[in-house]
Amino acid sequence: MGHLKDKLKLKLESFKIWAKKEVHPKKALPFRFSIKVHEDFADFVHGMLTGLLFGFLIGYVLMFNYFKF
């Protein structure tokens, strides 16, 4: 049991060291920024498309069920 515990502890330590690795700020910043903008833009587009879809759906149902042309 102790052997397994030591192995897990070693893995955790190596992961901590890997996570702490320094990235050059000038290299990291634009990449992170572009990812952030892309995610926000994707959410925006997804929201717009979903809104349009539901808008058309509700409009269609209202038009043909409640307002007979």
Mean pLDDT for the stretch of residues 8-33: 60
Contacts of 63 (CB under 8 A, 6+ apart): 69
Query: Per mean pLDDT, which range of 16-20, 28-32, 62-66 is the poorest?
Result: 28-32
Q: Are 63 and 69 in contact (CB under 8 A)?
A: yes
pTM equals 0.35
Mean pLDDT for the stretch of residues 14-26: 58
At residue 57, does pLDDT exceed 80?
A: yes
With CA atoms as reference, report the closest residue to 31 among 41, 19, 42, 23.
Answer: 23
Tokens representing 68? 């007979």
Tokens representing 60? 């269609």
**Between 26 and 55, where is the model more confident?**
55
At residue 37, does pLDDT exceed 70?
A: no
